[in-house]
Amino acid sequence: MTDHDQRFMRMALDLAQAAADAGEAPIGAVIVDPATGEVVATGANAPIAGHDPTAHAEVVALRRAGAATGNYRLTGLTLYVTLEPCAMCAGAISHARIGRLVYGADDPKGGAVAHGPKLFEQPTCHWRPQVEGGLLATESAALLRGFFRARREQAGRGRVAAGETA
């Protein structure tokens, strides 16, 4: 992986932090044209704010990239995302024909690239991007762990305040 990869993943981490600050799961995505180094689109998790279960960071970025390029096929572009994509996002990545996927933290519970259904390895998958996982995984995982730990603690304080035992 290159210095450019780290720079774009850091951008995705900044987007993930912005999502966390908005109360969303901290996941960010950046789509880049590797030929020019230009950022084509970005996305951050927004299913709560958008009342949209499909508003995962990857899908938000893919939609924006399609609008920016005037094409739903994003062949040759690179998608950086802070967490291993779920089945829905992996399917969208395949349909968009992303050329390269770079993700941060593994997601053994909900991931669908290196875990679970391993979508890109299925014979019915019509497009397989080049995949590289683990870039800035420690930072990505720490952001997620901290976010969900704070939510659990906040929920626990709410139960105690309501007279329940924690």
CA distance linking residue 132 with residue 121, whole number of Å: 14
Torsion of the alpha carbons at 10, 12, 5 and 124, rounded to the nearest 10: 150
Catalytic residue among 24, 38, 58, 164: 58
**CA dist., res. 35 & res. 30, Å (int):** 15
58 is catalytic: yes
Closest residue by Cα to residue 104 from 3, 4, 165, 13:
13
Which amino acids are annotated catalytic?
A: 58
